[in-house]
Amino acid sequence: MKGGEAYRLVYAPVVREHLLVIERKYYSLIRATIEDQLRLEPTVETTNRKPLKRPSFIGGQWELRFGPDNRFRVFYEVDEGTHEVYILAIGVKERDRLSIAGKEVDL
């Protein structure tokens, strides 16, 4: 990345619906983690930030895991040309089940 330029975070409108099923007390954690983890180096693989082996059902190419017991998942894609990160979905994973907007989904 040239000169440490920050990426612009773009949230899909549907993400609001995803948040409605998550307790409000986690909103600041979710917002802060997305800002901290995705604004500068969204395509650098880490322990909790990985490219998906195959694109998700919503089109995301990357997954960010965080929160208590790594329960939260953010699915996103990166456009290097426009220097933007598109946040496509926020879900909750409990054991082997992922739910987005209160509905169980398969990856």
**Domain hosting residue 69, numbered range:** 2-105
Question: What's residue 107's pLDDT?
Answer: 64
pLDDT digits (tens, 9 = 90+) for 57-92: 777 899 999 999 999 999 999 999 999 999 999 999
Tally of domains in the chain: 1
pLDDT bucket at 54, cuts 50 / 70 / 90:
confident
The residue count for the chain: 107
pTM check: above 0.95: no
- CATH number of the CATH domain containing 91: 3.30.2310.20
Q: Which two tokens stand for residue 16?
A: 């609001």
pLDDT at residue 96 is higher than 60: yes
- Selection from 103, 100, 106, 107 nearest residue 15 by Cα: 100
